[in-house]
Amino acid sequence: MTAKPAAAAARATVYGYPRQGRNRELKKAIEGYWKGRVDADTLRRTAAELRRGTWRQLAEAGVHEVPTGDFSYYDHVLDTSVMVGAVPARHRDAVRSDALDGYFAMARGTQDVAPLEMTKWFDTNYHYLVPELGPDTVFTADPAKQVAEFKEALALGHTPRPVLVGPVTYLLLAKAAPGVAAGFEPLTLLDRLLPVYAEVLAGLRAAGAAWVQLDEPALVQDRTPAELNAAARAYRELGALADRPKLLVASYFGRLGDALPVLAKAPVDGLAVDFTESGAGNLDDLAAAGGLPGKRLVAGVVNGRNIWINDYEKSLATLGTLLGLADRVDVSASCSLLHVPLDADAERDIDPQIARWLAFARQKTEEIVVLARGLAGGTGAIAADLAANRADLASRAGAALTHDPAVRDRTAAITGADGRRSQPYPERAAAQRAHLGLPQLPTTTIGSFPQTTELRTARADLRAGRIDEAGYEERIKDEIREVLSFQEKAGIDVLVHGEPERNDMVQYFAEQLTGYLATRHGWVQSYGTRYVRPPVLAGDISRPEPMTVRWTTYAQSLTERPVKGMLTGPVTMLAWSFVRDDQPLGETARQVALALRDEVNDLEASGTSVIQVDEPALRETLPLRAAEHAAYLEWATESFRLATAGVRPDTQIHTHMCYAEFGDIVQAIDDLDADVISLEAARSHMQVARELAAHGYPREAGPGVYDIHSPRIPSTEEAAALLRKGLEAIPAERLWVNPDCGLKTRGWPETRASLENLVAAARQIRAELPTEAA
């Protein structure tokens, strides 16, 4: 590609950036504030330092326009609710009394007030706080955060671009508030919301903002004509404002489809479009729409969600085509870099050759800058970068790690019979009831128990050499004994060993499977102050030796009650890793499933009668377009069955899912053929139980009655009320009683009290059942 004058103005930018800081300073400051060890001013200073550091790093790398407003103490959708005054009535007094504490109360709840519902941000593992709206909602503009952060960056000499969640996406992500009549659609509030956005835009313009980015990722999903008309109306009105900054409407995570011509025709000044997740779709659609004459195009050609290096030649070819479709083409990642870790250079334990295949946020920023330079100056301006990039791509393609003949031969030999249980569910259920002898409404937990300070200290001491492996294992045994003792005293029916030996539900297994790489500093925000380190799925997968049998067998030796074996399912092992992009996902899932099948069979052989294979990411990974659902669900459900179908009829297979919308995948949940499923239900008031009933789901289910993502302790009466709602949808002989999710992030005092109340609620409801049912 040679230099083209039309590209002379090409600039580098990003939509957003990780918030936590290099050493998770934000997490530590916020949690310190919650515990009273850090005051509000110190928290605010820490946040300001992190913002300044991010802007400085971006500017020094060559990014011409830095994002502002994407920083958040907890969640950017919650920030939007505050910006537009959509504070639930139950939280208004707290917000008026102290804005910061009220903000955290909306996110986490208090002992007396429930938080906002939380669910997944499109098909990512990031969680957002769901806005609660109703026909009586009154919006009021509060642009203080957005204006203040813009002014911060401006004062430091940067060129800032405020980033806001767009009004259409905000309403499409919202739900009807509790008590609102069925059928209410938040999008009907658009005409009421747009003047508030106009006021926010005016405030940013008055502060000096030249451009404002409005994120509309909901438009890459299937949208009705009415929803597309609403988007057209929204941007027709905002674009017509007399006193406004220039508007850049951003989409990401896929193909805009019918929404692209709507946005292309809107009186806005630019579009930011994803050219990685959509394949050639957005490029073809943009050409078909006649391009963006007179407008700016921000081209997302660097994958903002995965960690593999960019293919410069491929990206430059795309950018070169785009030059003829817009007046100005700038270069960016496909979405906010919130979804990747900060800096691959911090990973000193990864083979240097393999490390060169990786690009975290800092490296992606450098890639964006290189591509902008190449777009403006031609390939000669980046010749050395291109040569190094070609060498790194070739190194990865030819590495032995990526191709294990034994693994590939085994997956090629899979037959349909490998994914089917030997008996249908009714016969299995009878065998399991006889074998396990559980009461009606059996109680259990999801798997993990609190990771105590003592346990984390022991893990750190082992890494530092202050204790040896034998000393560490004694600490693990002590923790398992304590967890089992508590559960027995509390009256829980099916026990767990608490997972004290595990760092993370995916990373723990990834570290024991071939083909995976573990990072030391690759933290990514999941929700609030919860950060995870997704492993890197780099090559073909196999299991060299048992992973969980030893500790599960030890736990079972301490009790007569059944102890669940706990595994993470194949879809979640992919979804919560940075998955390889050089082969179909279904093929990778089958490799992981076969490794897990070996583990399931070994657990059963060791005497484990209940085995839980968690798949919380099954719904999260569902493609955003309905046309792609069937193909995904086929390999996703097949991989689960492949992992679990080799056991005897009297071995009970559980699965677990949480914090997603399940109504559109109930058939897939049925297709898993698990004997028991536990699901999040407390914040959504048993909605999932009703969805299972509407489908006619025939197996056992445990819709959660304890919201573990809030520090509040549910009372016995509250849990019992949820159980009664559950019984309206699921008969007692098929209803389990459990929390929404694992207890790893909770403290012991709240865990003890909450589980004791959960068991008391189950006993209370058992006593209310007819004699024949009880």
468-499, pLDDT tens digit by residue? 999 999 999 999 999 999 999 999 999 999 99
Model confidence at 641: pLDDT above 70: yes
List pLDDT tens digits, range 687-707.
889 999 999 999 999 999 999
Residue 280 has pLDDT above 80, yes or no: no
The residue among 484, 401, 438, 404 whose CA lies nearest residue 610 is 438
The reply, when asked if residue 120 is annotated as ligand binding, is yes
**pLDDT tier, 660 (very low <50, low <70, confident <90, very high otherwise):** low
Report the candidate in 104, 106, 118 with the shortest Cα–Cα distance to residue 43. 104
Q: Which two tokens stand for residue 278?
A: 């959509």
Phi, psi (degrees; rounded to nearest 5) at 586: -60, -35
435 is in an annotated binding site: no
Is the pLDDT confidence value at 192 over 60? yes
pLDDT tens column, 340-375: 999 999 999 999 999 999 999 999 999 999 999 999
Please check if 691 is assigned to a binding site: no
Does residue 771 carry a pLDDT above 90? Answer: no
Residue 710: the pLDDT is: 84
| Residue 623 clears pLDDT 90, i.e. is over it | yes
Residue 448 marked ligand-binding: yes
pLDDT band at 773 (very low <50, low <70, confident <90, very high): low
Residue 452 pLDDT class (50, 70, 90 cuts): confident
Q: What is the mean pLDDT of the chain?
A: 94
Q: What local confidence, expressed as pLDDT, does residue 4 receive?
A: 39
Q: What is the pLDDT, as a whole number, of residue 659?
A: 61
Q: Is 16 annotated as a binding residue?
A: no
Say how many C-beta atoms besides its own lie within 10 A of residue 555's C-beta.
22
CA distance 694 to 696: 5
Q: Is 620 annotated as a binding residue?
A: yes
Q: What pLDDT does 3 receive?
A: 36
pLDDT level of residue 625 (50, 70, 90 thresholds): very high
The reply, when asked if residue 356 is annotated as ligand binding, is: no
Please list the active-site residues: 709
pLDDT at residue 596 greater than cutoff 70 = yes
From first CA to last CA, the distance across the chain in angstroms is 76
**Binding site annotation covers 658?**
yes
Would you state the pLDDT for residue 685? 83
pLDDT of residue 5: 39
pLDDT at 663: 76
> What per-residue confidence (pLDDT) applies to 682?
86
Asked if pLDDT for residue 6 goes beyond 50, the answer is no
Residue entry with tokens 């910006």: 83
Q: Which of 646, 423, 444, 645 is nearest to 562 (CA)?
A: 444
- Which amino acid makes up residue 24? R
pLDDT tens track for 311-342: 999 999 999 999 999 989 999 999 999 999 99
Tokens of 300: 């997302």
Parallel/antiparallel/unpaired status of strands 536-542 and 564-568: unpaired
pLDDT of residue 1: 39
Which pLDDT belongs to residue 705? Answer: 93
Token pair listed for 340: 């990747």
Report the C-alpha gap between 398 and 582 in whole angstroms.
Answer: 12
Contact (Cβ atoms closer than 8 angstroms) between residue 340 and residue 18: yes
Q: pLDDT at position 139, please?
A: 98
**Annotation-wise, does 614 bind a ligand?**
yes
326, 289 in Cβ contact below 8 A?
Answer: no
The amino acid that residue 427 corresponds to is: E
Q: Is 25 annotated as a binding residue?
A: yes
pLDDT digits (tens, 9 = 90+) for 500-558: 999 889 999 999 999 999 999 999 999 999 999 999 999 999 999 999 999 999 999 99
Structure tokens at 693: 């009933």
588, pLDDT greater than 80: yes
Q: Is residue 628 within 8 Å of residue 685, measured between CB atoms?
A: no
Identity of the residue numbered 224:
T
What is the percentage of the chain residues whose pLDDT exceeds 90? Answer: 90
**Whether pLDDT at 681 is above 90:** no
pLDDT at 145: 98
Q: What is the pLDDT of residue 684?
A: 79
What pLDDT score does 277 carry? 82
> 36 a known binding residue?
no
Number of Cβ atoms within 10 Å of the Cβ of 698: 12
| Whole-structure pTM value | 0.89
* Annotated binding-site residue? 530: no
What tokens appear for 460 in the block?
């750190």
Nearest one of 583, 568, 488, 489 to 532, comparing CA atoms? 568
Looking at the DSSP bridge assignments, the partners of residue 298 are 272, 330
Closest CA to 191 of 139, 248, 257: 139
Per residue in 372-408, pLDDT (tens digit) is 999 999 999 999 999 999 999 999 999 999 999 999 9
d(C-alpha 377, C-alpha 617), whole Å: 43
Does 656 carry a binding-site annotation? yes
Alpha helices in 549-695 (DSSP H): 549-556, 570-575, 585-605, 629-644, 666-671, 687-695
Tell me whether residue 437 is exposed, middle or buried, using C-beta atoms within 10 angstroms of its C-beta: 0 to 12, 13 to 18, 19 or more. exposed
Residue type, 599: E
